[in-house]
Structure 1
């Protein structure tokens, strides 16, 4: 119960005041003067205590027991039906012939106040493969190249980065990422494009890197990007003995581990420092990626680094920790 900061009576004081009148022999006027309230207030709590006892000392809802002019059920049904057609509250009120406040109350009771409540998001379905290498997720992040610190550092959007001062745009570079579904061990490379040749080169390099850690990759999951739908990538998967799984169109959450890793990389690597050039940023990527795999606590791994999922012995850890 929320009691006003200047309230003179709490449930305990109300009971005390009522007992003073009932058992103590005080008049209602005397009790009113003692407790700093009106005789009418004293009479109310005495009556409640007499009929309900201690339970009657709490506040009651001001909502009426019965509405004299309730909104008809047919109107309520029509308001909800129009809302499911994504009509606004004012539009519904004009169409149905009721006030916007009435529409708001109806929609609130129906749980349709916000447009996103009409089509709620699908529940998150989390999954994890049983062993390292059973499946890796692959994705690409596009980053702009630069030759001086940008507006994120300087705060000045008037000057754009140019290449050697000749006024031409520096272009783009593409971070190809691979992350193991079970261990979250990640492998990253920067390529000049997101074409099939670069995607295949990254796939082969990733498999070789996982192999050095004793992990044999069986499946690879990608989105439906052109490079992953190409014949070159399909043939590479066949030659490497991989099962290629593509996500459902327009559902990036299916490849959520790669998407989440990219968010972490952008926050903790790409935009974490004031790099002078994109080359300096690219040179720092292997350092950060090593920290991510070997030292950074991972929330879904009970705050342990991804390398802990491989179960390596101390000798193997020293041999691989370069």
Structure 2
């Protein structure tokens, strides 16, 4: 748990975006609603994820959305000792767990609620709790994400071990433009 956490955003309605994080191993999720997909929203969401995940996060994996590539976002991840690993362009299958979970949200949650209600954020928090603690998952033979986590808790590294393995010198600022990122990597190898 925590080795790789997939993160994504999706538009729910006009001026309403859901940020989603899914632990690759347990399927434990954190969800939040924001009015915009911005670096500020991403920074707030990262803090929520770190606070709510029941284990330390080693790596965030995202698509190449602009909201994830802001210098402020990448610097915050470095401060927290979390690796940032964006996927190659046009590769949604590499973030398949978070993509699938957003599809589940649209079918099982948003199809049943009025997006204009004042307590939508509270309803989403209840849905998140249900998903993590009560909803069974076929990927885990009918277990919930928390049941899966409890099975693996003894194998899950503590924060101090995770931070000891983080090598800040090996982390560089990622470019949203993938072609530019590849060219920069080539240049660095030549130095």
TM-score after normalising by structure 1: 0.45
User: What aligned pairs does 1:180-199 form with structure 2 within 5 A after superposition?
Assistant: 180-199=23-42
Q: Per-residue CA shift, 1:132-172, capped at 9, x if unaligned?
A: 1111111011121xxxxxxxxxxxxxxxxxxxxxxxxxx41
- Aligned to 2:118, which of 279, 293, 305? 279
Structure with more relative contact order (C-alpha pairs < 8 Å, separation 6 or more): 2
Matched, 1:138 2:7: yes
Listed as ranges, the gaps of 5+ residues in structure 2 are 152-191
Could you say which structure has the larger radius of gyration? 1
Contact 1:270 / 1:281 at 8 angstroms: preserved in 2? no
Shift of 1:278: 4.2
- TM-score in terms of structure 2 length: 0.75
1:282, distance to aligned residue in structure 2 (A): 3.1
1:264–1:276 CA distance, 2 compared to 1 (3 A) = closer
Query: Number of residues paired by the alignment?
Result: 151
Structure 2 equivalent of residue 179 of structure 1? 22
Cα separation, 2, equivalents of 1:242 and 1:281? 30
- Contact 1:221–1:255 under 8 Å retained in 2: yes
Match of 1:229 among 69, 93, 96: 69
- Is 1:308 equivalent to 2:177 in the alignment? no
Question: Higher strand proportion, which one?
Answer: 2
Task: Call closer, same or farther: CA 1:287–1:296 in 2, change over 3 Å.
Answer: same
* CA RMSD across the alignment: 1.4
Unaligned runs of 5+ in 1: 1-131, 145-170, 313-322
| Post-superposition CA distance 1:169-197 (Å, at most 9, x none) | xx411111111110000001111210001
Q: 1:200 aligns with which of 21, 43, 48?
A: 43
